[in-house]
Amino acid sequence: MDLKQLTALHGPSGNEGAVRKAIVQAAGPLCDEVKIDRAGNVICFKKGSNPDTPGVLFSAHMDEVGFIIAGHTEDGLLQFRPIGGIDPRAVVSKWVLVGDSLIPGVIGAMAIHLQTAADRQKVLDYEQLYIDIGAKDQKEAEKLCPLGSYAVFDTPYTPFGEGFVCAKALDDRVGCYNLLRLLAGSYQSDLTCCFVSQEEVGLRGSRGAAFHRQPAVAIILEGTAANDLGDVEPRFHVCQAGKGVAISFMDHASIANRELFRQMITLAEAADIPHQIKQGVTGGNDAGSFQTTGEGAKTIVLSVPCRYIHSGASVCKLSDVDAQLALAQEYLSNL
């Protein structure tokens, strides 16, 4: 399964079923055991060739940011709220797919011609936005898209420039893609790959996976925010697309194990794997769950820089995706 196929799947937090099904089908032939737990995580285990080599766990999250329908207007528009952190400035006029039937809709707001000068000075919040599915009235809208229906961005996977791609859900289908590619290899150590649920709404799935597995080492494969365009000063870039895998020393959910942090840098340098140290302490991810569960795990986060993250049109460079995989493989080869 390639990255294009993975990003085309729809899996907002709490509704990852389509992604989960595809991953189970792809991972099954590659490993010794596939388990789905009650949180909806897919936990894959592959036996290593040397029982004396310590096992390691890798994790990535299946879910993406999206929306949920919270109401209907008399004229058939859908009121909605975000699932995960989505800047309302990034959603106006975007196409979405709503409900199990994937009904097309567009996120709308009052036309600029009708806004007052004061309106134009402030960011519209979600109470002022709606999804238009072309319903003639409230009754039809309620029938087509009942309360609690999910909505996702409708964005095709599009290669452009020199090795860049634009798609929805790069955070974190890049990590899921590389977990599947890891499972295709052979290693001396036991390998556990966790495809977890509901990361975008508070690391919920990974808590159950961490409690169940309680690994000594957990390595998280993520997508993270790049801020490398325009007149942003280099020290505020966080990380840069095209500069390789981003190695984090800290974020808002975890602090990297110092031994692992130094080891990843040493391995990347020795193997000439493009890499960078993430320059900002931003966001949070499933490392926080694994680091604080049971006796705790040694954790490190390896990320693919993504521009316009948590929007309908994220951008990454495929060479960074390959660099994330290469460093993960190098770590496994040197256990």
Q: Output DSSP code: residue 332.
A: H
Pairing of strands 217-225, 130-132: unpaired
**Cα separations in angstroms, 116 against 71, 87, 113:** 26, 22, 8
Asked whether 297 and 217 are in contact (CB, 8 A), the reply is yes
**Cα separations in angstroms, 126 against 9, 69, 74, 131, 153:** 25, 11, 18, 11, 16
C-alpha span between 178 and 195 (Å, rounded)? 11
Tokens for 311, please give them: 């929007």
- Give the relative orientation of helices 170-183 and 318-333 as an angle to the nearest 10 degrees: 40
Catalytic positions, please? Answer: 199
Measured CA angle at 65 (ends 91, 291), to 5 deg: 140
Q: Output DSSP code: residue 330.
A: H
Tokens 């952190």: give the residue. 85
256 burial level (CB within 10 Å; 0-12, 13-18, 19+): buried
State phi, psi for 108 to the nearest 5 degrees: -120, 165
Identity at 186, one-letter amino acid code: S
Using DSSP, state whether 42 is helix, strand or coil: strand
Sheet holding 314-317, edge to edge: 158-160, 164-167, 314-317
C-alpha span between 68 and 63 (Å, rounded)? 14
Torsion 124-127-133-134 (CA) sign: negative
DSSP bridge pairs for 71: 79
